[in-house]
Amino acid sequence: MGVLIVSALNSMALLYLIRPRKPQTVELEGETGKEEEEKTKEEEEPQAAQPAAPQRPTTKAGILAWRRRILEELGEERGTKVITMIHKKELWTEEGEEPEIGIEDIEAVLQAFRKTPPSKPIDLILHTPGGYASAAQMMAMAIKFHPAKVTVMVPFYAMSGGSLMSLAANEIRMEKYSVLGPVDPQIPTPDGMWPAGSLSTLVKTKPIQNITDRMIILSDAANLEIENAKAFVTWLLDGKMDKEQAERVADFLAKGYMSHATPITLDVARALGLNVVEGIPDKVYELFKTFAFTGQPYKRS
Amino acid sequence: MVVEELDILLAVAIVVVVLLNMLTSLLFLRRLPSASGQQAVVKEEDEGDEEEESDDGETEEPADEPTKEQILARRAQLIRELEQERGTRVITLIHRKEPWNKGDDEQEITLENSEEILLRLRETPPDTPIDFIVHTEGGSTFAADMIAMALKHHKGNVTVMVPFYAFSDGTYIVLAGDEVMMEKYSLLAPVEPLVDDMPANWIMAVLKRKPIETIADRTVLLAETARMETENARGFVKWLLEDKMSEDQASQVANFLVGGVMASTTPITLDVARAIGLKVTEGVPEKVYQLFETIEFSGTPGPGKKYND
């Protein structure tokens, strides 16, 4: 009798051993994309035999799935839709490419905003050196137009266009050491990028006949860019503070009084009248660990 | 009795052992793919190992990404669906980086674009309404002007859809439509001509600001070009708008859009477009966005640029 039971149990155990593996594979594939289904199934067999040493994912698909999971968890934790605009070098970034706000960000970020139900709050994680001005403007508009609360999280920095976007949010979350920056326009000239404010100073301080024609033309155009930036910031801040203060803040940030890299810290941002909360959820930092720092795979401690 | 009890005990013992065996092996199996407690992480990295061995990480999962043909087929299908839904002919002028574009392959309005579009417009029966989806940073004014003219001359209703932006010369095309569909955050832009990469109006302004003997010959020549270009642009905008508003208003709008009163980055939003007298509807059909998503399943941009859903 005992033998019977044993063999029955054995076969059951064996059946059980074989069974759970398939659903598990499928579940995991769900994370990495349907396209990979076949591949993972093939891989599953040898993998199970030799347990791999715990390591970070090294493929693009793996890293993306890892991130997606963290973002989902963060969204659940906070009851928000999490959107990111993070400009960091990836393992697959082409050499010499410096990620910054580009025309591609527009589609990605705006689509995400458009797909979020109006009543759902949004957490936007920003990490950017800035970039294309019109792109930043469009995204800032989307932030301002979202009916529910939009929180911008700046774990490290969001300069220039990134700061412009932060100004549009209902709440900015940052650390004591994270920085925003001025939003004064930068003008490309044959002689490099110059702050719009500096170009207008050039024309004011040097005899006009000694300035090159192009610099005069660009400085005139630059004055309009400053006006535009100021008006835009004032509009972004409308509803967050009284108009007079909004204009002062716009002037301070867009007129080009200070270097474009001047850190606008948490305290300064607060002093300007922005709604700043100190501290960033741990999950956001977890997200940043999925990026390869200095182009090398991050070592697991 | 004793023997029987022993038998039962033995059986029970065996059962317990087997159960334990089963449990441990189950646990082992469970643990295997979740050694770090995060199943997905390890799983993916398993794949990673495999892949690295196979192709040294040089190309990323080539088999998994949809081919160009698949992407184009999907798009063609979406366009067909949109055409059926709206009873229109859909034509697109979309400039974006495709997975098959290499490096700094700049996307802009070219003469090839205009030829292709003009051919498609020619093939559209005069009374069929047109939905023209535009997504561009601009490019050749010459080419954009031709597209705009063709749209204006089309007999049926022309709806220009701007899901995201139509900058610079793209704005001419928007002005040519009978109506515009855009979002609150969609942007048009001023159509001030650039001459030698400088705004035309400010080139002309130099002639007034600087003693003429100190101005370079080239700048004086450029100012002449700038004068002609702005005149052209103004005339063209006026003509595009003539049947949509009074002549007086059309010329004011032309001055506003060409005149150098705005910075190049000044946002021409839905409200502004309405204020200058265009017939603007807020919102773009969902299918148009699906069209824009055809690129996303290739996973081209990183998550910094990718929205998660």
DSSP string spanning chain B? -HHHHHHHHHHHHHHHHHHHHHHHHHHHHHHGGGTTS-HHHHHHHHHHHHHHHHHTTSS--TTTSPPHHHHHHHHHHHHHHHHHHHTSEEEEEE----TT--TT----B-HHHHHHHHHHHHHS-TTS-EEEEEEB--B-HHHHHHHHHHHHH-SS-EEEEESSEE-THHHHHHHHSSEEEE-TT-EE---PPEETTEEHHHHHHHHHHS-GGGS-HHHHHHHHHHHHHHHHHHHHHHHHHTTTS-HHHHHHHHHHHHSS-S-TT--B-HHHHHHTT--EEE---HHHHHHHHTTGGGT-S-TTT----
Distance CA B74, CA B291 (A): 8
Chain B touched by A289 (CB under 8 Å): no
Dig out the tokens for B112 from the structure.
């090839």
pLDDT tens-digit series, residues A178-229: 999 999 999 999 889 999 999 999 999 999 999 999 999 999 999 999 999 9
pLDDT greater than 70 at residue B194: yes
Average pLDDT of the segment spanning B256-274: 92
Q: Identify the CA nearest to B94 among candidates B54, B64, B134.
A: B134
Name the CA radius of gyration of chain A, rounded.
Answer: 26
Residues A217, B205: C-beta atoms closer than 8 Å = yes
Chain A touched by B54 (CB under 8 Å): no
Distance CA B204, CA B186 (A): 31
For residue B187, the cross-strand partners are: B165
Residues A56, B65: C-beta atoms closer than 8 Å = no
Phi, psi (5° rounding) for residue B210? -120, 140
Query: Could you tell me which residue, B22 or B182, shows the higher pLDDT?
Result: B182
Work out the percent of chain B whose per-residue pLDDT is above 70: 74
pLDDT greater than 80 at residue B208: yes
pTM (2 d.p.) = 0.76
What fold characterizes domain B66-189+267-301? 2-enoyl-CoA Hydratase; Chain A, domain 1 (3.90.226)
User: Which pLDDT value is given to residue B97?
Assistant: 78
User: Which pLDDT value is given to residue A16?
Assistant: 56
Domain ranges of chain B: 1-33, 66-189+267-301, 193-263
Residues A68, B263: C-beta atoms closer than 8 Å = no
CB < 8 Å from B in window 247-286 of A = none
Work out the percent of chain A whose per-residue pLDDT is above 70: 78
Query: What ranges make up the beta strands (E) of chain A?
Result: 81-86, 122-127, 150-154, 157-158, 171-174, 179-180, 186-189, 192-195, 276-278
Helix (H, G, I), strand (E, B) or coil at A175: coil
Chain A touched by B272 (CB under 8 Å): no
Distance CA A96, CA B196 (A): 27
Contact, A36 vs A61, CB < 8 A? yes
CA geometry: angle B82, B85, B90, nearest 5 deg: 35
pLDDT tens-digit series, residues B20-30: 666 665 555 55
Q: Any idea of the CA torsion for A280, A286, A290, A295, to the nearest 10 degrees? A: 60
Chain B touched by A202 (CB under 8 Å): no
User: Which pLDDT value is given to residue A89?
Assistant: 81
How far B296 CA sits from the closest chain A CA (Å)?
A: 9
Average pLDDT, chain B: 81
pLDDT tens-digit series, residues B285-299: 999 999 998 876 443
pLDDT band at B16 (very low <50, low <70, confident <90, very high): low
Contact, B26 vs B19, CB < 8 A? no
Average pLDDT of the segment spanning B4-21: 69
Contact, A200 vs A219, CB < 8 A? yes
Q: Identify the CA nearest to B43 among candidates A69, A298, A70, A62.
A: A62
**Strand B158-162 relative to strand A192-195, pairing:** unpaired
User: Which pLDDT value is given to residue A21?
Assistant: 46
Chain A hits for B263, Cβ within 8 Å? 185, 221, 224-225, 227-229
pLDDT greater than 90 at residue B164: yes
Chain A touched by B207 (CB under 8 Å): no
The helix (H) or strand (E) run that includes residue A202 is: helix A196-205
For residue B134, the cross-strand partners are: B93
Kindly list the structural domains of chain A, giving each domain's residue range(s) and its CATH number in brackets, ordered by start: 60-295 (3.90.226.10)
pLDDT tens-digit series, residues A151-192: 999 999 999 999 999 999 999 999 999 999 999 999 999 889
Cβ within 8 Å of residue B197, ≥6 positions away: none
Distance CA A238, CA A243 (A): 7
CB < 8 Å from A in window 12-31 of B = 14-15, 18-19, 21-22, 25-26, 29-30
User: Which pLDDT value is given to residue A30?
Assistant: 38
Q: State the helix-helix crossing angle for B68-86 and B286-293, rounded to 10 degrees.
A: 180
> Tokens 């979202």 label which residue?
A146
pLDDT greater than 70 at residue B80: yes
Which residues in chain A come in under a pLDDT of 70? 1-55, 292-301
pLDDT tens-digit series, residues B31-50: 444 333 333 333 333 333 33
Establish whether this prediction's ipTM goes over 0.85. Answer: no
Chain B hits for A141, Cβ within 8 Å? 184-185, 267, 269
User: Which pLDDT value is given to residue B256?
Assistant: 95
Distance CA B282, CA B277 (A): 15
